[in-house]
């Protein structure tokens, strides 16, 4: 069940990522890759291989997109997310584990 839910969440993330106009453009090093910031809450310990494989597959199919996955500890997510939104640096996609 968790894998199905995670697959659905990741599929939604990829759909959002496909809307490249909403992503952040890299300006350093002269690359024009779209960068997608993807945050999760405490999933790395159990799903690191899963997410790394999904991201690698997506980036292979979409060479103009780079996904940056950050796993935030549960206790820190609210403060980090609020600070990022207030500072104008919110991630493009957040998995809220509901």
Sequence ranges of the domains in the chain = 2-94
How far apart (Å, rounded) are the C-alpha atoms in residues 75 and 80?
10
| CATH code reported for the domain at 2-94 | 3.40.190
Q: Is the pLDDT of residue 16 over 50?
A: no
pTM of the model: 0.68
How far apart (Å, rounded) are the C-alpha atoms in residues 2 and 39?
17
* pLDDT band at residue 96 under the 50/70/90 scheme: confident
pLDDT in tens, 33-62: 999 999 999 999 999 999 999 999 999 999
Give Cα separations from 55 to 17, 32, 66, 70, 88 (angstroms): 11, 19, 9, 12, 25
């Amino acid at each position: 069940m968790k894998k199905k839910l995670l697959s659905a969440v990741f599929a939604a993330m990829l759909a959002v990522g496909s809307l490249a106009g909403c992503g952040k453009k890299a300006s350093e090093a002269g690359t024009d890759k779209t960068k997608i910031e993807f945050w999760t809450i405490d999933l790395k310990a159990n799903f690191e291989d899963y997410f790394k494989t999904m991201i690698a597959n997506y980036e292979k199919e979409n060479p103009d997109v780079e996904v940056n996955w950050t796993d935030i500890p549960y206790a820190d997510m609210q403060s980090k997310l609020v600070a990022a939104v207030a500072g104008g640096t919110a991630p493009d996609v957040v998995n809220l584990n509901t």
